[in-house]
Amino acid sequence: MVVRFFLFSLLFPLFQILGAESVTHPFVGVTHIHRTEPAFGLHVVRIDLDAPGIRFQLTGPGGTRETVRQTTLDFLASVGAQVAINGHFFAPYPSEDSEAFLIGLAASEGVVYSSFETPAQSYALVASAPALHIDAMNRASIVRRGYTGELWTAVSGSAQIITGGVVTVPVYRDAEHSDGLLTPGSYSNARSWYNVPNPRTVVGLSSDKRTVFLVTADRAAGFTVTALAALLAREYGVHDALNLDGGGSTTLAMQNPSTGEREVMNALSGGRARAVASSLAVFARRR
Protein backbone atom coordinates (compact mmCIF):
# COMPACT_ATOMS: atom_id res chain seq x y z
CA MET A 1 0.00 0.00 0.00
CA VAL A 2 2.83 2.39 0.89
CA VAL A 3 4.64 1.55 -2.34
CA ARG A 4 1.47 2.12 -4.37
CA PHE A 5 0.92 5.53 -2.75
CA PHE A 6 4.57 6.45 -3.32
CA LEU A 7 4.31 5.58 -7.00
CA PHE A 8 1.08 7.56 -7.36
CA SER A 9 2.66 10.60 -5.69
CA LEU A 10 5.52 10.44 -8.16
CA LEU A 11 3.25 10.10 -11.16
CA PHE A 12 0.56 12.61 -10.20
CA PRO A 13 2.62 15.74 -11.04
CA LEU A 14 3.24 14.26 -14.47
CA PHE A 15 -0.49 13.80 -14.94
CA GLN A 16 -1.02 17.43 -14.00
CA ILE A 17 1.49 18.64 -16.54
CA LEU A 18 0.04 16.49 -19.30
CA GLY A 19 -3.46 17.62 -18.38
CA ALA A 20 -2.41 21.26 -18.75
CA GLU A 21 -1.06 20.80 -22.27
CA SER A 22 -2.35 19.01 -25.32
CA VAL A 23 0.49 18.09 -27.69
CA THR A 24 -0.22 16.87 -31.22
CA HIS A 25 1.81 16.34 -34.40
CA PRO A 26 -0.72 17.06 -37.15
CA PHE A 27 1.76 17.27 -40.05
CA VAL A 28 5.35 16.32 -40.79
CA GLY A 29 7.56 18.81 -38.97
CA VAL A 30 4.65 20.49 -37.14
CA THR A 31 4.02 20.22 -33.39
CA HIS A 32 0.98 21.93 -31.89
CA ILE A 33 0.95 22.62 -28.15
CA HIS A 34 -2.29 23.90 -26.63
CA ARG A 35 -1.87 25.03 -23.04
CA THR A 36 -5.12 25.18 -21.12
CA GLU A 37 -4.08 25.48 -17.47
CA PRO A 38 -3.79 27.49 -15.38
CA ALA A 39 -6.44 29.46 -17.28
CA PHE A 40 -4.23 29.78 -20.36
CA GLY A 41 -5.52 29.89 -23.91
CA LEU A 42 -2.00 29.55 -25.29
CA HIS A 43 -1.11 27.93 -28.62
CA VAL A 44 2.52 27.22 -29.50
CA VAL A 45 3.21 25.73 -32.94
CA ARG A 46 6.74 24.49 -33.55
CA ILE A 47 7.87 24.23 -37.17
CA ASP A 48 10.92 22.05 -37.87
CA LEU A 49 12.80 23.74 -40.71
CA ASP A 50 14.62 20.49 -41.51
CA ALA A 51 11.41 18.52 -42.08
CA PRO A 52 10.67 17.60 -45.72
CA GLY A 53 7.97 19.69 -47.38
CA ILE A 54 8.08 22.68 -45.02
CA ARG A 55 7.81 26.07 -46.71
CA PHE A 56 6.40 29.49 -45.88
CA GLN A 57 4.32 32.11 -47.65
CA LEU A 58 3.36 35.61 -46.54
CA THR A 59 0.36 37.47 -47.92
CA GLY A 60 1.50 39.00 -51.19
CA PRO A 61 1.09 42.55 -52.46
CA GLY A 62 -2.22 43.67 -53.86
CA GLY A 63 -4.62 46.55 -54.35
CA THR A 64 -3.77 50.21 -54.62
CA ARG A 65 -2.04 50.31 -51.21
CA GLU A 66 0.16 47.35 -50.26
CA THR A 67 -2.23 44.49 -49.49
CA VAL A 68 -5.87 43.51 -49.65
CA ARG A 69 -7.16 42.60 -46.20
CA GLN A 70 -8.59 39.15 -45.50
CA THR A 71 -8.95 36.91 -42.47
CA THR A 72 -6.12 34.55 -41.65
CA LEU A 73 -8.48 31.61 -42.13
CA ASP A 74 -9.44 32.80 -45.61
CA PHE A 75 -5.77 33.27 -46.50
CA LEU A 76 -4.94 29.77 -45.26
CA ALA A 77 -7.68 28.29 -47.42
CA SER A 78 -6.86 30.41 -50.47
CA VAL A 79 -3.23 29.24 -50.65
CA GLY A 80 -3.95 25.67 -49.57
CA ALA A 81 -1.54 25.70 -46.62
CA GLN A 82 -1.77 23.82 -43.34
CA VAL A 83 -1.04 26.46 -40.65
CA ALA A 84 -1.24 30.27 -40.55
CA ILE A 85 -1.05 33.14 -38.09
CA ASN A 86 -1.75 36.83 -38.53
CA GLY A 87 1.22 39.07 -39.22
CA HIS A 88 1.92 42.78 -39.55
CA PHE A 89 0.48 45.79 -37.83
CA PHE A 90 -1.20 47.89 -40.48
CA ALA A 91 -2.67 51.27 -41.32
CA PRO A 92 -5.12 52.85 -41.50
CA TYR A 93 -6.56 51.39 -38.33
CA PRO A 94 -9.26 51.40 -37.13
CA SER A 95 -10.77 51.31 -40.59
CA GLU A 96 -13.22 49.28 -42.63
CA ASP A 97 -11.12 49.83 -45.76
CA SER A 98 -10.46 46.65 -47.70
CA GLU A 99 -6.86 47.64 -48.46
CA ALA A 100 -4.01 48.54 -46.12
CA PHE A 101 -0.40 49.60 -45.76
CA LEU A 102 1.83 47.24 -43.79
CA ILE A 103 3.99 48.68 -41.03
CA GLY A 104 7.49 47.33 -41.40
CA LEU A 105 9.42 45.02 -43.70
CA ALA A 106 7.41 42.57 -45.81
CA ALA A 107 8.54 40.10 -48.46
CA SER A 108 6.54 37.34 -50.10
CA GLU A 109 8.23 34.75 -52.32
CA GLY A 110 11.10 37.11 -53.04
CA VAL A 111 8.98 40.21 -53.68
CA VAL A 112 9.73 43.00 -51.19
CA TYR A 113 6.72 45.31 -51.03
CA SER A 114 7.07 47.11 -47.69
CA SER A 115 10.31 48.43 -46.21
CA PHE A 116 11.68 49.17 -42.77
CA GLU A 117 10.08 52.43 -41.70
CA THR A 118 9.17 54.86 -38.97
CA PRO A 119 5.44 54.29 -38.60
CA ALA A 120 3.15 57.29 -38.99
CA GLN A 121 0.31 55.51 -37.21
CA SER A 122 0.80 52.57 -34.91
CA TYR A 123 0.49 51.16 -31.43
CA ALA A 124 3.67 50.81 -29.37
CA LEU A 125 5.88 50.17 -32.39
CA VAL A 126 9.61 50.69 -32.49
CA ALA A 127 10.77 52.58 -35.56
CA SER A 128 12.35 50.18 -38.08
CA ALA A 129 11.50 47.16 -35.91
CA PRO A 130 13.34 43.97 -36.92
CA ALA A 131 11.80 41.20 -39.01
CA LEU A 132 11.84 37.43 -39.17
CA HIS A 133 13.36 36.34 -42.47
CA ILE A 134 13.12 32.82 -43.89
CA ASP A 135 14.94 32.31 -47.16
CA ALA A 136 14.07 29.92 -49.98
CA MET A 137 16.28 27.24 -48.36
CA ASN A 138 14.43 27.54 -45.01
CA ARG A 139 17.30 29.35 -43.30
CA ALA A 140 15.81 31.65 -40.68
CA SER A 141 17.19 34.78 -39.01
CA ILE A 142 16.22 38.10 -37.49
CA VAL A 143 17.09 40.93 -39.89
CA ARG A 144 17.33 44.65 -39.25
CA ARG A 145 17.43 47.88 -41.17
CA GLY A 146 20.56 47.92 -43.29
CA TYR A 147 20.33 44.23 -44.22
CA THR A 148 21.68 43.91 -47.76
CA GLY A 149 21.03 40.26 -48.59
CA GLU A 150 18.22 38.93 -50.73
CA LEU A 151 14.84 38.59 -49.04
CA TRP A 152 12.36 35.76 -49.56
CA THR A 153 9.77 35.64 -46.75
CA ALA A 154 9.88 38.45 -44.20
CA VAL A 155 7.44 39.60 -41.52
CA SER A 156 8.02 42.33 -38.94
CA GLY A 157 6.20 43.34 -35.79
CA SER A 158 6.40 46.00 -33.12
CA ALA A 159 9.69 45.03 -31.47
CA GLN A 160 12.02 42.16 -30.61
CA ILE A 161 10.76 40.91 -27.26
CA ILE A 162 13.24 38.03 -26.74
CA THR A 163 16.90 38.37 -27.72
CA GLY A 164 19.33 35.55 -27.09
CA GLY A 165 16.92 33.95 -24.62
CA VAL A 166 16.57 37.18 -22.62
CA VAL A 167 13.36 39.23 -22.41
CA THR A 168 13.94 42.53 -24.24
CA VAL A 169 10.57 44.28 -24.27
CA PRO A 170 11.37 47.94 -25.03
CA VAL A 171 10.54 50.77 -22.64
CA TYR A 172 8.43 53.42 -24.32
CA ARG A 173 9.05 56.99 -23.24
CA ASP A 174 6.16 59.09 -24.48
CA ALA A 175 3.57 58.79 -21.72
CA GLU A 176 1.45 61.57 -23.19
CA HIS A 177 -0.05 59.24 -25.79
CA SER A 178 -2.00 57.00 -23.43
CA ASP A 179 -4.02 55.53 -26.29
CA GLY A 180 -0.83 54.22 -27.87
CA LEU A 181 -1.00 56.43 -30.96
CA LEU A 182 2.41 57.38 -32.29
CA THR A 183 3.60 60.34 -34.28
CA PRO A 184 6.54 59.82 -36.66
CA GLY A 185 9.75 59.05 -34.79
CA SER A 186 8.11 58.93 -31.37
CA TYR A 187 7.38 56.15 -28.93
CA SER A 188 4.38 55.33 -26.81
CA ASN A 189 3.73 54.16 -23.30
CA ALA A 190 0.72 52.32 -24.77
CA ARG A 191 -0.38 50.69 -21.54
CA SER A 192 -3.39 49.10 -23.20
CA TRP A 193 -1.13 47.28 -25.64
CA TYR A 194 1.90 46.15 -23.65
CA ASN A 195 1.27 46.31 -19.94
CA VAL A 196 -2.22 44.88 -19.53
CA PRO A 197 -3.63 41.54 -20.72
CA ASN A 198 -4.48 41.40 -24.41
CA PRO A 199 -4.53 38.73 -27.11
CA ARG A 200 -1.00 38.30 -28.44
CA THR A 201 0.69 36.96 -31.56
CA VAL A 202 4.40 36.15 -31.49
CA VAL A 203 6.84 34.58 -33.94
CA GLY A 204 10.15 33.21 -32.74
CA LEU A 205 13.24 31.10 -33.33
CA SER A 206 15.15 28.44 -31.39
CA SER A 207 18.80 29.00 -30.51
CA ASP A 208 19.99 26.91 -33.48
CA LYS A 209 17.55 28.72 -35.81
CA ARG A 210 16.12 25.41 -37.04
CA THR A 211 12.75 25.75 -35.31
CA VAL A 212 10.23 28.52 -35.96
CA PHE A 213 7.63 29.19 -33.26
CA LEU A 214 4.17 30.53 -34.09
CA VAL A 215 2.40 31.63 -30.92
CA THR A 216 -1.02 33.01 -30.04
CA ALA A 217 -2.34 33.84 -26.58
CA ASP A 218 -6.02 34.55 -25.96
CA ARG A 219 -7.28 37.39 -23.79
CA ALA A 220 -8.26 34.83 -21.14
CA ALA A 221 -4.59 33.90 -20.83
CA GLY A 222 -3.98 37.25 -19.18
CA PHE A 223 -0.61 37.95 -20.77
CA THR A 224 1.25 41.19 -20.90
CA VAL A 225 3.94 41.18 -23.59
CA THR A 226 6.64 40.85 -20.92
CA ALA A 227 4.92 37.92 -19.19
CA LEU A 228 4.41 36.06 -22.45
CA ALA A 229 8.00 36.62 -23.54
CA ALA A 230 9.27 35.33 -20.20
CA LEU A 231 7.13 32.20 -20.42
CA LEU A 232 8.19 31.43 -24.00
CA ALA A 233 11.88 31.84 -23.18
CA ARG A 234 11.69 29.86 -19.95
CA GLU A 235 9.40 26.97 -20.83
CA TYR A 236 9.42 26.60 -24.61
CA GLY A 237 12.99 27.35 -25.60
CA VAL A 238 12.27 30.46 -27.65
CA HIS A 239 15.62 32.19 -28.19
CA ASP A 240 14.57 35.20 -30.29
CA ALA A 241 11.04 36.52 -30.80
CA LEU A 242 9.06 39.36 -32.32
CA ASN A 243 5.71 40.71 -31.16
CA LEU A 244 3.25 40.81 -34.09
CA ASP A 245 -0.16 42.47 -34.35
CA GLY A 246 -2.41 41.33 -31.50
CA GLY A 247 -5.78 42.21 -30.00
CA GLY A 248 -8.60 41.49 -32.41
CA SER A 249 -6.10 40.50 -35.10
CA THR A 250 -4.69 37.54 -33.17
CA THR A 251 -5.52 34.37 -35.11
CA LEU A 252 -4.13 30.87 -35.45
CA ALA A 253 -5.73 28.79 -38.19
CA MET A 254 -4.95 25.18 -39.04
CA GLN A 255 -6.09 22.42 -41.33
CA ASN A 256 -7.60 19.38 -39.64
CA PRO A 257 -5.38 16.51 -40.83
CA SER A 258 -8.27 14.04 -40.62
CA THR A 259 -11.06 15.96 -42.35
CA GLY A 260 -9.08 18.46 -44.42
CA GLU A 261 -11.23 21.29 -43.07
CA ARG A 262 -9.49 24.49 -42.02
CA GLU A 263 -10.49 26.17 -38.76
CA VAL A 264 -9.51 28.83 -36.26
CA MET A 265 -7.81 27.30 -33.23
CA ASN A 266 -7.77 30.20 -30.77
CA ALA A 267 -10.62 32.10 -29.13
CA LEU A 268 -11.14 35.19 -31.26
CA SER A 269 -11.42 38.54 -29.50
CA GLY A 270 -15.00 39.73 -29.84
CA GLY A 271 -16.01 36.37 -31.28
CA ARG A 272 -15.32 37.24 -34.92
CA ALA A 273 -12.32 37.12 -37.22
CA ARG A 274 -10.74 40.40 -38.27
CA ALA A 275 -9.64 40.96 -41.85
CA VAL A 276 -5.92 41.61 -41.41
CA ALA A 277 -3.30 43.03 -43.75
CA SER A 278 -0.98 40.02 -43.73
CA SER A 279 -0.77 36.43 -42.58
CA LEU A 280 2.10 33.96 -42.52
CA ALA A 281 1.25 30.49 -43.82
CA VAL A 282 3.14 27.21 -43.45
CA PHE A 283 2.92 24.36 -45.93
CA ALA A 284 3.57 20.89 -44.51
CA ARG A 285 3.14 17.29 -45.65
CA ARG A 286 0.54 14.92 -44.28
CA ARG A 287 1.74 12.12 -42.07
- Give the pLDDT confidence score for residue 221 in this predicted structure: 65
Region 162-179 average pLDDT: 71
Any idea how long the chain is? 287
Given a cut of 60, whether residue 12 has pLDDT beyond it is no
For residue 100, report the phi and psi dihedrals to the nearest 5 degrees. Answer: -150, 160
User: Which parts of the chain fold into alpha helices (H)?
Assistant: 2-20, 72-79, 191-194, 225-235
For the chain, report the end-to-end CA distance as a whole number of angstroms: 44
Q: What is the pLDDT of residues 171-219, one digit of tens each?
A: 654 444 444 444 444 444 444 467 778 899 999 999 999 999 999 998 7
Q: In what order do the strands lie in the sheet with 262-264?
A: 55-58, 279-283, 83-86, 252-255, 262-264
Q: pLDDT (tens digit, 9 = 90+) per residue, 67-79?
A: 999 999 999 999 9
| Separation CA 90–CA 75 (nearest Å) | 16
**pTM listed for this prediction:** 0.87
Cβ–Cβ contacts within 10 Å for residue 16, how many? 10
pLDDT of amino acid 16: 33
> Is the peptide bond preceding residue 119 cis, with omega within 30 degrees of 0?
no
- Cβ atoms of 65 and 273 within 8 Å: the answer is no
pLDDT at 42 over 90: yes
Do you find a cis peptide bond into 38, omega within 30 degrees of 0?
yes
CB 283 within 8 A of CB 56: yes
279 three-class SS: strand
* 105-118 tens-digit pLDDT: 999 999 999 998 76
Higher pLDDT, 169 or 106: 106
pLDDT at residue 168 greater than cutoff 80:
yes
Cβ atoms 28, 52 nearer than 8 A: yes
Q: Does residue 275 contact residue 69 with C-beta atoms inside 8 Å? A: yes
- Gyration radius (Cα) of the chain, Å: 19
Average pLDDT, stretch 226-250? 96
